[in-house]
Structure 1
Amino acid sequence: MSQQKAFDLNLFRIFTAVYRTSSFSRAAEELDLTQSSVSNAISRLKSTMGEELFIRVGRGVKPTASAMNLYQQLAVPMSEVEQVATSFELFDASTSERTFYVYASESAILLLQTVVERLLDNLSMSIVFREPPLIEEELQMDLQLQKVDLAVDIWLPESSSFKSEKVMQDKLVCVARKAHPRIKGCITHEQYFNEKHIIFKMRRDNLSVADLLTKQVLPARKMHSEQSSILSMMALASKSDALAIASKSYADEYAQMFGLQVFELPFAAEPIEYHMVWSHKLQQNPANIWLRGLLNRAIALRSNGF
């Protein structure tokens, strides 16, 4: 009696990669395969299931209802299999010469880089911090493709493809130059909105940091200028009568250098919460576990004034 040919479980791995990346080429890059190999695998799975799985849309693909249903059943078990596979990777921090790449916001880089360099003093490894891409989908894709090892950001992912951990909290403050002609020592709600403002635009979502984190709709502010760098914003505040908003840790670091006063905001604002984010498949990966541990050590030391 003939035996039924065994099903190739690798087709599921390729399918989930295409589903997550919405692209045959990106899936091929993630899996280190050729694009034709990925295309052939999806064709084989389509034939086995008897259902269309993806429809081409522009340069990518869009899943059909059948593909969505299949992915819902496969996402968790496939992720667990990948975790097991990556957990076997060898990693020895004392001998490794690996370079890790971490996406982090400008303020997070300021807080962490110096402490991290001290922690790496006796090791041959390095950690390179990079500002994240403007488009959030690109950040997620780079994490999935492991172009970066993790991210430290105020962005919190909703997808089950990522794991995250809250690691830091900060708050917003107002800064003005010490020689400001109208503001000394503290600032009232009326004073704040009577002055011109240097607006800091978030790199993503095109929002100002105040609008993102305030609990209420703010009155219109008189704009002095618009900046996408906190450092340049504070330098500009030191040379003008315009006000600026920054994280307290950043303001405390540079207030003396730029000759700035630092005030509590005259309105309620949410805290700035930083999250460490990494690919779910790296949850049990020894190298990624070590990296997360080292960054948590750096954060703890920074909090204690190291």
Structure 2
Amino acid sequence: MDLNLARTFVLVFQHQSFTKAADILGVSQPAVSKAIRKLESDVGDALFVKSGRGISPTSRAVSLATDFQRAIDIIDNAVFSKNRLSIYCVEALMHTLGDIETATFKVPPFDQELLFDQLRAQQIDLVIDTTTTKDSAFEIESIHSEPIAVICRKDHPKIIGDTFTRELYYQLEHIEYKATRDGRSFLEVFAEEPLEHRNVVRQASNQATMAMLAAKSDCIGLVFQSFAKEWADRLNLKILPMPVKCRDVPIHMIYHKRRIQDPQHRTIRELIKQRIHSI
């Protein structure tokens, strides 16, 4: 059925006037009359009858009106409601972004190939992550870099004050991330000097788990510095400088080039960059 017929019918039903419906639609009264006759032919029943100088709906019109209005509302909501962008954001930076009305944030998958496949398939609209690619289909902006910090519980028995040496770092028990990149651990990816053996006794799948494990044990862990500052007081954690030379972790904004000029996409990209730059 032509949706325009349903819209015309609902207006005629609401105002019980072909003339008022025509004025609202910006068409002639004969055009409205023709549309109603066409709809009556489709449903097989009269919808309006003359009543004095006006018209009145038939019982068939009354039964159709509610269903037609509901259908029009559903279609209008689908077409004109704000689209929510689906965004992968590295978990350690989610606290800096807060709520964005038209965005839903998710933690990126470990599988980077899956991440880019989902961008291509428009299942994900934007990615904020440490990963990158040489695929020319994607736009990649460097928007931030995060220093790596060491965390431990404040009353750790072997770490006195803020003194933390390289020797002590290697003597302590460590929590390590389960996820690897190209077979290398998180620290191996960003270390700028040869690494010695570390006594890894626990593993964490994300920075939140890393922080909680460090807070409840004598192990040390590695997190983004901004994440550590956000949660140190709440989890009774101590933040220590990284004694092993490491480069900062680069954060990229990644999206398909077909979205470069998308107005909503551009607005959210700029908002995210503003909030991350405020760290």
- Calculate the TM-score normalised by the size of structure 2: 0.67
Who is 1:102 aligned against?
87
Who is 1:222 aligned against?
199
Q: Report the CA distance between 1:292 and its aligned residue.
A: 1.2
SS of residue matched to 2:176: strand
2:88 is aligned with 1:143: no
Corresponding residue to 2:273 among 291, 296, 301? 296
Structure 1 segment 87-236 matched on structure 2, within 5 A: 97-112=82-97, 114=98, 117=99, 120=100, 125-184=101-160, 185-202=162-179, 205=182, 207-236=184-213
Q: Structure 1: give runs of 5+ residues left out of the alignment.
A: 1-94
SS of residue matched to 2:145: strand
How far apart are the structure 2 equivalents of 1:101 and 1:228?
A: 22
Identity %: 27
Structure 1 segment 23-34 matched on structure 2, within 5 A: none
Q: Report the CA distance between 1:168 and its aligned residue.
A: 1.3
Q: Report the CA distance between 1:266 and its aligned residue.
A: 0.8
Q: Report the CA distance between 1:111 and its aligned residue.
A: 2.2
Pick the structure with greater CA Rg.
2
User: Matched residue pairs, number?
Assistant: 199
Q: Structure 2: give runs of 5+ residues left out of the alignment.
A: 1-79
Who is 1:259 aligned against?
236
Contact 1:135–1:204 (CA under 8 A) maintained in structure 2: no
Contact 2:110–2:179 (CA under 8 A) maintained in structure 1: no
How far apart are the structure 2 equivalents of 1:252 and 1:286?
A: 34
CA deviation vs aligned residue, 1:225-247 (integer Å, no higher than 9, x gap): 01112111111111111111111
Contact 1:203–1:228 (CA under 8 A) maintained in structure 2: no
Q: Report the CA distance between 1:157 and its aligned residue.
A: 1.6
TM-aligned CA distance change 1:187 to 1:247, over 3 Å: same
One-letter amino acid of the counterpart of residue 190, structure 2: L
Who is 2:14 aligned against?
none
Who is 1:72 aligned against?
none
One-letter amino acid of the counterpart of residue 192, structure 2: K
How far apart are the structure 2 equivalents of 1:133 and 1:206?
A: 16
One-letter amino acid of the counterpart of residue 106, structure 1: E
Who is 1:248 aligned against?
225
TM-aligned CA distance change 1:208 to 1:201, over 3 Å: farther
TM-aligned CA distance change 1:206 to 1:228, over 3 Å: farther
How far apart are the structure 1 equivalents of 2:150 and 2:110?
A: 25
